[in-house]
Amino acid sequence: MSGGALWSVALAVFAGAIRGGTPFLFVSAGECLTEKSGKINLGLEGVLLMGAMSGYAISYKTGSPWVGLLAAGGAGLVLGFIHAWLAQQPKVNDIAAGIAMIIFGSGLAFFLGKPFIQPLAPQLPGWEFGAWSSNPAARSALRICPLFFVGVFVVFAMNWFFNATRWGLFVRAVGDKPDAARAMGISVWGVRTLSIMAGSCLAGVGGAYLSLFYPGSWTERVSGGQGMIAVALVIFGHWNPVQCLWASLLFGGAQALGPALQSVGVSSYYYLFNASPYILTLLVMIVTCSTRKQLAGQPGALGTGQ
């Protein structure tokens, strides 16, 4: 591989880290908030698709991508409420509820989104940080959606929320020791419902980013399992929102590797390279998980059905 090709692959991976990492960022931040309250929401994949569909559809109908973004967040809130309500019923496994929400959410998105596969909806704007460069690849790599910065802000705000606010303490208490939290007079149901809904709203916004900025169209394959990878990202990030940010960037870059290599002529194993985010997730989980000790930062009530 020549120097120029290497440079272009590196640029594509960098661009992918930011462009492709943004949806991971939103979904993993949402999942992080959800899991901190002690429940898993595997259904964020369905939320992502619903967010992508409703964001695109509303943007097309109203002509404003920002209204579409709001609609996507709203769709996330609604689906989040369904999950929160179902997953907190006695004897209902939250992982199974998540699988049901994947099927329900994606079915609903495919159903309602059928008429919007063809038309072009107004897209979210991008900020041109690469105007100084004459290289078109660099220019497109440095065209960054404002949502990316919103996501970075959300992540740091969430970190502050967990560590320095009263409500953050409530969420952590409910996630670690629900019984103790209940004894303190905190409403476990209320805190979990709000956390799951807020997390789901973030995932909906991430979905709108998919259909309204990058890749920037609504198709049934627009998410490709990113909602489920996010669950693994949270484990990788040890339930710390800031580490979820780094993990999201890493995965965004990994996702861009296959197409980048193909564009410079390395096309053998193209399909396997496309699976690299999934393989990477699996490897990361194999390395970080352990049967003996609980992971640092893991909420105590997670996966116990409490």
Partner 1 sequence: MEPNGAEGDAAHLASVALAEAPARRFSGIRWRSKLESVVIPLGVIIVSMILFGIFVAWQGAEPLAVFASIKKGAFGSWFSFQNTLVRAAPLMLCALCTAIPLRLGLVVIGNEGALVIGGLCATAAGLQCQDASASTVHIVMAATGMFAGGLWIMIVGALKQYRGVNETISSLLLNYVAIAVLNQAVNSWMKDPDSLNKPSSFPIPDEKMFQPFGDTQIHWGLVFGIIYCLCAWFLIQKTTFGFQIRTVGANVRAARLAGLAVGPLTLLTCFIAGAAPGLAGMVEVAAVQGRANESLNAWYGYSGILVAFLARQNALACIFMSVLLGGLLASGGILQRAHHLPDATIVVFQGIVFLTILYSESLYGRFKFFQEARE
**List of residues contacting partner 1 (CB under 8 A):** 42, 82, 86, 89-93, 95-97, 99-101, 103-108, 110-111, 114, 224-225, 228-229, 231-232, 235, 268-272, 274-275, 278-279, 281-282, 285-286, 289-292, 303
Residues 69, 75, 81: CA angle, nearest 5 degrees: 140
Output the smallest distance, CB 38 to partner 1, in A. 15
Query: Which residue lies nearer to partner 1 by CB, 145 or 230?
Result: 230
Is the link from the previous residue into 125 a cis peptide, with omega within 30 of 0? no
All residues at 6 or more sequence positions from 258 whose CB lies less than 8 Å from its CB, including other chains: 270, 271, 273, 274, 276
Contact assessment for residue 97 and residue 43, using Cβ atoms and an 8 Å cutoff: yes
Query: Which residue lies nearer to partner 1 by CB, 114 or 119?
Result: 114
Helix (H) or strand (E) run with residue 134 in it: none
Query: Which residue lies nearer to partner 1 by CB, 77 or 99?
Result: 99
All residues at 6 or more sequence positions from 303 whose CB lies less than 8 Å from its CB, including other chains: 40, 95
DSSP output for 10-36: HHHHHHHHHHTHHHHHHHHHHHHHHHH
Output the smallest distance, CB 280 to partner 1, in A. 10
Output the smallest distance, CB 274 to partner 1, in A. 6
Query: Which residue lies nearer to partner 1 by CB, 93 or 135?
Result: 93
Q: Which of 178, 58, 157 is nearest to 112 (CA)?
A: 58
Alpha-carbon span 112 to 121, nearest angstrom: 15
Query: Which residue lies nearer to partner 1 by CB, 160 or 270?
Result: 270
Output the smallest distance, CB 16 to partner 1, in A. 18
Query: Which residue lies nearer to partner 1 by CB, 85 or 129?
Result: 85
Contact assessment for residue 224 and residue 278, using Cβ atoms and an 8 Å cutoff: no
Output the smallest distance, CB 277 to partner 1, in A. 8
Neighbour count for residue 115 (Cβ, 10 Å): 9
Neighbour count for residue 14 (Cβ, 10 Å): 18
Output the smallest distance, CB 128 to partner 1, in A. 34
Query: Which residue lies nearer to partner 1 by CB, 140 or 288?
Result: 288
Query: Which residue lies nearer to partner 1 by CB, 21 or 98?
Result: 98
Output the smallest distance, CB 153 to partner 1, in A. 28
Identity of residue 120: L
Alpha-carbon span 276 to 274, nearest angstrom: 5
Output the smallest distance, CB 11 to partner 1, in A. 25
In this structure, what is the dihedral angle of CA atoms 64, 65, 71, 76, given to the nearest 10 degrees? 180
